[in-house]
Amino acid sequence: MLNLATIFFSSFMVAFSGAIMPGPLLTVTISESVRRGSHAGPMLILGHGLLEIVLIMALIAGLAPFLSRTDVFIGVSLAGGILLLGMACSMLKNLPKMHLNFAVKSEKKNNLIAAGILFSLANPYWLIWWASIGLGYITHSLQLGLPGVLSFFCGHILADLAWYAVVSTVVSKGRRFCSDRAYRWVIGVCAVFLLIFAGYFLYSGVIPFIRPTA
């Protein structure tokens, strides 16, 4: 039977299953948590959540067919790949001179929120998920009106927040045992993962031109 509790818990479980999968946002959360502390994950998810609120409103207004278009997927894949490639190259370029800095400045919070938005947009499969699975959840939730949609979103975003808060806290607590060399290794590994994601997204954007559908 469809009710608010069912919507909330099913939304939480589906979102949590997706949150624990490696992706650009998780990679950035790890690297930023080493530098800025345990607040990095929640701040990134704040930006991620604000973007998802806007997207939910757009989907309800009828944006789903547009997001499902092949040319939109190609554009998002290429743009996301370029963004991740630039980020990874910048991290690798600055790697030799990176040092641990435990002084966290409050003005950097806005940057983390913006990063949460940018790295969500950089993943084309995030849009595809919302245009398919997400839209299906919204459609069912709308049967209970606005409370249904709110229950769906609360379950969804709390799953993201729970996982990324745990990751951020675990990573940041290890900073006291982390030397500059180990720190550079962490950043280097994150940069490599971003390069892999960038290559995959660029490949996803180019492959329709190499293998056009009949």
* Cβ contact 102:177 at 8 Å: no
Q: Which domain holds residue 160?
A: 4-98+106-210
For 105-151, the three-class secondary structure string (H helix, E strand, C coil) is CHHHHHHHHHHHHHHHHCCHHHHHHHHHHHHHHHHHHHHHHHHHHHH
Q: What is the pTM of this model?
A: 0.75
| Residue 105 pLDDT grade (very low, low, confident, very high; cuts 50, 70, 90) | very low
Cα three-residue angle 180-186-191, rounded to 5 degrees: 125
d(CA 149, CA 56): 9
Q: Which of the four pLDDT bands, split at 50, 70 and 90, describes residue 195?
A: confident
85 by Cβ neighbours in 10 Å (0-12 / 13-18 / 19+) ranks as: middle
pLDDT at 35: 80
**Residue 109 or residue 180, greater confidence:** 180
Report residue 124 as tokens: 């084309």
Residue range 126-175, pLDDT digits in tens: 887 887 778 778 888 888 888 999 999 999 999 999 999 988 998 888 76
The DSSP code sequence of 155-196 is HHHHHHHHHHHHHHHHHHHGGGG--HHHHHHHHHHHHHHHHH
Tally of domains in the chain: 1
